[in-house]
Structures are given as C-alpha cells and as structure tokens.
Chains A and B, each alone.
Chain A
C-alpha cells in the first residue's frame, strides 16, 4: 500500500536536495531529470500495487485539458 504518512527522516533536507537537482536547468532539462527520477524510484519500489496507487494519487483532481494525439478509426 502506498505510504502517504511521514516517512522522510529529514523532510527539509530532501526538499532542498530535490530543488538542488533542478538548479541551473532549462525547463526541458528539468523535465529530463524528473523523468529519470521517476523511473529510478519506480524500479526501486518495484511493487506494482504501490506504483499504481501512486500514479492514481498523482493524477487525482486534474481534469484533462489536452487531447490524445492518436485517433480512433473504423474501416
């Protein structure tokens, strides 16, 4: 189960480290770092149920405003 209770020994230190990881980067580079970070952490967690919960929690409350780039067809 996804743990949303406090689990970081030094929360402020972690947050500062997260900000440091983005320092001096363009928005595109920052997205690159974030994508790598998500993949690394996801593999570390491993548990499919936890990952699914985290994905759902991350998306909760966001109303999709963009379109998917693929389209449905019939023949």
Chain B
C-alpha cells in the first residue's frame, strides 16, 4: 500500500474515540539517561495490528514487552478492513474480540458479477454453531485502537511513540538497538527482537535482508466514501462492469456508513493523478449514479507484490506480518496472516524465555509460518492472475470461465475474485504427533481446533473461548472418568509445560464435575461431531489453538511424549 491521502475530516462515529486522528505523546524514558543500554527481554518494532497482537499476547501471559513505534498515531485511512474468523478468535483470547465484532460489519456472503449480470454467490460460513462469523469489516484504525486500549491495561507492556529504530547489531546472545527520538538517539538491548515494522521494514533493511517475489503490473484505486445506502453487508465483486469497463471493481461495507470501493486501474494509470478528487468522483458516480450523495473519506492508489523473506527467524530477530511477507489484498491474507504469525510466535517465545523450551522451538515459528506464507502467496497470486489477466490467453480463459459460470456449476468453482483467508493447516509441523488412530472429518493435527457451542458452569459458552492460555487437553467423555486416570492426568496439569484439562461431556448426559477440570457440555452435539469424538477421545491443543495430537483413548505416556514434542523439548 502506498500514497494514502486524507481528503476530509468528518467526525468519527458516535461515542467512539477518533482513533484515526488521535496522537500519542512522546515521553522521555529513563532508559535514555542510563549509562549503559538497558536490556529488555522482548522488544517489538511497530505498533500496527501485528506488533500489538504479539505485545499483548506476551504481556498478558507474564512476559515484559517494550513496543517501539516510529510514529505517534495509528493507521491513517481504513487500510486492512477484512478481519477473518481466526483473527477474531485470537482477539477473543487477547480480550478484545467482542468489541471488534460489536463495532464491525458482519458478513458471510459474497456476490460476483460479470459485465451487467450476477454470476454467482458464495457463503463463507455455511454452517451454524461458531462463536465468530467468517469475516467482519472493520477499519484498521479501530482494530489498532481496540488493541491499543487492551495493551494499556497490561502493566508489563510499555509503548514508546516516536521511537525509531535506526541501528541494529544482532549477536548470538541478544540484539543491540539504536533508537532515534525527538530528543536524540539512545541505545537498548533485547534478548529477543520482533520485527513487526511492515512492508518497508527498517529492521529488515538494517540487517541487509530481502523480501523477494513477484510484482504485479497493475494499479488499484481505493476510495472510502461515506454515504447512506441500503445495500446489504456483502462483498460485491464486478468483472468488466459497464460503469468501469475492462477492469474489476470491489465494493464492501464498513462501520459508520463508510464504503470501500476498489477500482482496478491498469498498469498505465498515473498514481498521482488518479488520487485527485476530480478523477475519483466521476468513477464513483458511474457506479452509484449521479444522484446519490457521498463524501470522500480516504483515497489511496496502490500496486502490490507477492513476496517473502527466505527465513522469518534470524537468530534472535523474528520477522512477523508484512515485514516477513506480502500478498495482494484479494483474499484478506495480509493482516490476518500477520495476526496468526504473532500468535504463533508469542507462546513459543514465552516458553523459551521461561526456560520451559529450548530456543530451537522458535525454528518451528519459522517453518510453520513460512509454510503458511507460501500458501497465502499461492492463493493471492492465483487470484491476481484471474483478476488481472497478464495476456490475451489469460483473459480469454477468464472471460470464458465467467461466461460459463452463469449456468455451469463447475465454472463457479474456477471464478477467483479472492480466496478469502482461512487459517493454514500446519500439517507438516514438527510439533505434531501424527495420528495413530483413525479419525474422520476435516480436523487433523496442525489444524485450528474447531469451535462449537457449549455450556460452561450452567451458562452458554463457546468451546474455543474455554481453552486455556497454555496447552489444553480436551477429553470427550460420556461418563465420569475413573479416579486413577484423573489423578495421572492431574500430574500433567502442574508440569513445566502445564496442561489445562477440559472435559467435553456428551450432550444430554447427567451432569458431573471433576475437580481440576473445566467441564463443558456439548450443547448441540456439534463439538462431538466436529472432533469426530467417541467416548474417550482425547485432543492435545497448543496455546495457539492448533491441534497437535489426538487419540481414541488416553495414555499418559503418549500424551506426555506429545506434549514434549509440541513444546520443542523432544
């Protein structure tokens, strides 16, 4: 993304802080007066959604974090607006998911048009019984604002604004930083440095590292407009519409009566000229009609690159989000994958800092998130190739696919206006224990645990929100388990890598409780179905809610071995 321009300054939505225009004062830190650079366990560069996620995750579970940002404000312009179910589940764990969902525009339905006609619709979450929707649309400044408010509740998390990283020396035992402030530069040391400083990462540049990939020869115009409109909260995508011939257009609703319109412009468009209101307004009027009043909120012209760094871990420096990888916006895989990077890294770093895991556990951050980045880049590249045909033949097939999609179901599967973000199944992770017992269904080691409606302490709850901060053992039981097994499980609850124990009772069975266990009742039978559970089925779930092992019956030795493996202690 580049070249954002704010064109108007209307009041923000009612009762919400104006996150977009809020500024955060630079404050001198005592570190700046220290004789020697002060050492911190974790320093994070960049207070965007990814840096804030990592910082909150670490700080709320007991790790002190220093977060540096070179600016004194949050995102300018709406920027990333589509936040996926998985991100919301992560924000739930961080304590601010509900607020985002309440403010956000919930949507599950996408519509695709070709020229004048609707071609097909897709429903991203065709089944019920999930705590969170497939997507919400929410301006990035709200996401950052809510994360920031959560961050400020955490005594272990310090944020320093107007602190710009200008020097970096990475050694095997730590990282030395030089930081520039309005009052001059000062030195810092970190045991671990997390680079969450975006596509133009200063950390990456200072370390002489590259992010490599493919640039797409196309430009897009984002126009956020404010208007009263009755259109439903759906994602509308047009290929070659009469109001913007030969190009694509995407329309999305955001909170506060803001609408995102994304116009494909082609490679020859002049990015400076296209941002001017006299060029933007006629394009929007062509879409909306001459009579509908609206105001421009934010305009940006961008092009994009699909790329990644070779490795995301460089010793004690760990790259997350756009600093590590970049994708096209079609599919909402940028911010969403970055939030998953942060979550993947946070629990591993926490275990390493606590001495509960060797630092080689962090190599699994690299391998798992490189694997995820490759999946995201593959999807993003394919969407872009469909949306922006690179030669006549690609365009012929694109148009033929869209033509056939009107009445041939098979062609609808080929239409690609963006494959929307779902969490990567970390199927090849070294932390997984491969299945020995047969399981049916889509869940597998490496996948994010499925959500389901449950009853906890007599009230309705959601399975994912009842999991712990650390590792969780989920035991599916139809009768109260025997004392001997409960006692041996209890020993794992207090180990170096403690296991939180959750019993998922079959729906409709008589209630019982077990001291030391969280007992959930499978409210609608969906938990047992989604986990393909039988009485005695046991799942081991990581702190980031990915399944890492499962069995048809419990065996303490196998469970202990899987926990050892999943925490990098094998």
Contacts and interface: CB of A to CB of B under 8 A. Distances in A.
A70 B382 CA distance: 13
B404 A74 contact: no
Interface residues of A, number: 18
Interface size on B, as a range, is 20 to 34
A35 interface: yes
Nearest to B389: A69
Contact of B215 (A32, A35, A43, A71): A71
Contact of B212 (A32, A34, A38, A74): A74
Interface string B48-66: 0000000000000000000
Contacts of A75: 200, 210-212, 305, 307
B410 to A, nearest CB: 4
Contacts of B411: 39, 43
B396 A70 contact: no
A70 to B, nearest CB: 6
Contacts of B269: none
Contacts of B392: 31
Interface in B389-405: 390-393, 396-397, 399-401, 403-404
A73 B216 contact: no
B119 to A, nearest CB: 14
B307 A70 contact: no
Contact of A70 (B215, B397, B401): B215
A35 B396 contact: yes
Contacts of A69: 217, 390-391
Nearest to A69: B390
B487 interface: no
B282 interface: no
B22 interface: no
B404 A70 contact: no
B155 interface: no
Interface string A50-75: 00000000000000001011111111
14 contacts: A31-B396, A32-B399, A32-B403, A35-B396, A39-B397, A43-B408, A68-B391, A69-B391, A70-B215, A70-B390, A71-B215, A72-B215, A74-B210, A74-B212
Interface of A: 31-32, 34-36, 38-40, 43, 66, 68-75
Interface of B: 200, 210-217, 305, 307, 390-393, 396-397, 399-401, 403-404, 408, 410-411, 414
